[in-house]
Amino acid sequence: MTSWYSLGAGVLLATALTACGGDSSDNNPAAGGEQVKTPDSLRLSFLSRYESGSFDTSAAEIPAYDSASQRLFVVNARLGVLDVLDMSNPAKPALIASLGVEEVAAGAVVNSVAVKNGLVAIAIEADPKTDNGFAALYRADDLSLLGSVEVGAQPDMIIFTPDGSKVLTANEGEPSDDYQIDPDGSISIIDISNPQDPQVSTADFSAFDADTLRSSGVRIYGPGADVAKDLEPEYIAVSADGTTAWVTLQENNALAKVNIETATVTGILPLGEIDRSVEGFGIDASDDDQEINIQTWEGVVGLYLPDAIHAYRADGSTYLVTANEGDARAWGEDNDAYWGEEGEGCAGDASQGFVEEFRVKHLVHKSGFDRRCGDDLPPQLRELGAGALLDPAVFDYCGATAGDPGDCREDDVLGRLNITWTQGYKVDEAGNPVMYNDAGEADEAGTRIMYDTLYSYGGRSFSIRDENGNLVFDSGDAIEQFLASDECRLGTNRSIACQDYFNSGHDEINAMDSRSDAKGPEPEGLTIGAIGDKTFLFLALERMGGILVYDITDPQQPQRLDYLNSRNFWGGGGDGEDIEDLIDDGLLAESDVGAVVGDLGPEGLVFIAAADSPNGIPLLVVGNEVSGTTAVYQVEMLFDEE
């Protein structure tokens, strides 16, 4: 019979867990390091949390750790600063200071942070966000500014190369909310060999052609469809030798491959989609039935649209791990000029925004699009036609006929599923939509488009790919299946059945099944760590919450090891439907959300090796943007006692 035991702090000190470069906060773990005893498994246990006292304001997002000063640096987007926490006693993290960046640029705010060799690198967003941002370097011990340099618009993530000689920023270049300004996306490569005088080079997308990228499967689809403006770098992974970077282009469903030495984008790699008709890749598509109903769907695919990415080595090759979150492009949602005022018909101004998300039930209603005018009808969709149909050759299984969607648009079938209207409809050889009449017959004078594929958001999964973006492994529907299983438990003491709150949202209570129509559990953040001969993945679920732990040593056969969700309150306590209602009703103080409810909306993660850990035990630190808490977990190494 197999039994399991974990090593205590004294033994862990002797068998130190290490990450690349001797610093576990550089976002580049698992590239080598000291060989230690290899555990058979890992288990997380909740240790502590720092509470900002702010709810649903992104007061804790991205953490990074400096082992020499034993300080944790956490992006507080609510205040636009970096909270500096004393981690000398990880059971009681305490605020030392909040580091603002006004001395770099007036009105600027902190977006991201990385730490290596006593240097704190900060990605700084300008005011307005469409102006060029900055990267700045500070000393970790006394928080003094060493140097800064201008980079591209909206640097959203920053990372060191393994040797610490450079930092890279992903300059997302999001448009203004009214879409009147749309800066170019880019990647900045900054030489910091002299931190007082950082030197920047820019890798841009000027060499790429929109039509060529589209034909390869890259989504180039925003207003104007200019490649440099349409591509929005999100997150960066760097190879162990520091020569190559891979950057997620989330909304574009692609990766950019970058030569760091020459600051050149050498390729844009399309990621493809998940076929939701294949067993093992299904989804629960409705939030209306209040039931767990994971199944396959003919004609439905999932776009990966990954957020976080990390690189690691296995059997002499580099592999890339992505968290397939699935963000849609949505600008102008609160702009009446974009939608058009109620009573004005379909007079929305397409130049004032771009919203690609739409429910299936509204897309294929027999009455057409105009019933949604002034509400949620994107004017760009209305320009395509007066309504849409489902291809009966594909969707006959749910009752679609040539001119009627049948039961497909019912709430407990596909009706509630959020999809993008920008692709999936039939086009001619020139790429123009094929038009149909109300009866579903091809007709040049017709006013309807016809969808034979529905593109939903996110993989609800994590993927492992090779260095050229080829898929090696995808977890498919395994995460949703686990959350629906008897095995899955919630809370720091693992006493709550996941099934009772399957696909809940991060700010809701009594909300079982509420996220099934969108992106499900929504994997967003991840980090990895090497222990002995194994590599481990820590994957954060933004909506359902919690951290999944996998052994990814074999890229083709990852093994799930653990799941810990340190949210302890899921329902009851009032008539409200979300935590904000409890606060508004005086039933819960905003400052008590962390202590009472727990951790909500995990965003960024950092793995701290035992050799770097203040207590000699490997730690995982997670920034939770909704609860405003920074959670500290101990990583227990488990060994099979034969």
Q: What count of other Cβ atoms lies within 10 Å of the Cβ of residue 573?
A: 16
Residues 423 and 487 in one domain: no
Same domain, 575 and 620: yes
pLDDT in tens, 139-197: 999 999 999 999 999 999 999 999 999 999 999 999 999 999 999 999 999 999 999 99
Which residue among 403, 428, 456 closes a domain? 456
Q: How many domains would you assign to the chain?
A: 2
My answer on whether 118 and 235 are in the same domain is yes
What pLDDT was estimated at residue 28?
A: 38
Considering the domain architecture, whether residues 341 and 269 belong to the same structural domain is answered as no
CA distances 404 to 361, 389, 392, 601, Å, are: 12, 7, 9, 40
Q: In this structure, what CATH number is given to the domain that contains residue 592?
A: 2.130.10.10
In the predicted structure, residue 609 carries a pLDDT above the cut 70: yes
Output b/e per residue, 453-465; b: 16+ Cβ within 10 A: bbbbbbbbbbbbb
Whether 289 and 317 map to the same domain: the answer is yes
Residue that is last in its domain, among 401, 428, 456:
456
CA 471 to chain centre: 18
Q: How many whole angstroms separate alpha carbon 201 and alpha carbon 432?
A: 39
**Residue 575: pLDDT band by 50, 70, 90 thresholds?**
low
294-to-403, 483, 562, 601 alpha-carbon distances in Å: 28, 11, 22, 23
- pLDDT (tens digit, 9 = 90+) per residue, 586-601? 999 999 999 999 999 9
pLDDT tens, residue by residue, 323-338: 999 999 999 999 989 9
| Region 225-237 average pLDDT | 95
Residues 215 and 288 in one domain: yes
pLDDT at 1: 30
Per the CB < 8 A criterion, the answer to whether 168 and 239 are in contact is no
Supply the pLDDT for residue 576.
66
Q: What is the pLDDT of residues 478-537, one digit of tens each?
A: 999 999 999 999 999 999 999 999 999 999 999 999 999 999 999 999 999 998 899 999
| pLDDT in the model for residue 345 | 64
Are 138 and 103 contained in the same domain? yes
Separation in Å, CA 153 to CA 184, 223, 270, 507: 7, 18, 24, 30
Indicate the residue among 456, 485, 513 that finishes a domain.
456
Q: pTM of the entire structure? A: 0.94
| pLDDT, greater one: 641 or 284 | 284
pLDDT score of 17 more than 90: no
Query: What is the arithmetic mean of pLDDT over 397-419?
Result: 97
| Residues 462 and 444 placed together within one structural domain of the fold | no
> Could you tell me the CA-to-CA distances from 604 to 51, 74, 140, 406, 601 in Å, in that order?
16, 9, 19, 43, 10
Q: Say how far residue 374 (Cα) sits from the centre of its chain.
A: 31
CA distance 451 to 440: 11
19: nearest Cα among 589, 531, 447, 613: 531
- Tell me the backbone φ, ψ of residue 20, rounded to 5 degrees: -60, 140
Tell me, yes or no, whether 40 and 71 share the same domain: yes
User: How many helices and strands (H and E) does the chain possess?
Assistant: 10, 40
Does the structure show a pLDDT above 70 at 34?
no
Residue 2 has pLDDT above 50, yes or no: no
> CB–CB of 247/255 below 8 Å?
yes
Q: In this structure, are 285 and 374 located in the same domain?
A: no
Q: Are 166 and 260 in contact (CB under 8 A)?
A: yes
> Tell me, what's the pLDDT at 21?
29
d(CA 540, CA 480): 13
- Write down the pLDDT at residue 572: 73
Task: Kindly tell me if the per-residue pLDDT of 78 is higher than 60.
Answer: yes
Where helices occur in 209-304 by DSSP H, the ranges are: 210-216, 227-230
Domain, as residue range, for 376: 331-456
Statement to judge: residues 480 and 428 lie in one domain: no
499 and 377 part of one domain:
no
Burial (CB count <10 Å: 0-12, 13-18, 19+), residue 517? buried
| Percent of the chain surpassing pLDDT 70 | 93
Kindly state the tokens that stand for 112. 């991201």
Per the prediction, the chain carries an average pLDDT of 92
The DSSP letter of residue 329 is P
Confidence band, pLDDT 50/70/90 cuts, at residue 76 = very high
339 or 36, which is more confident:
339
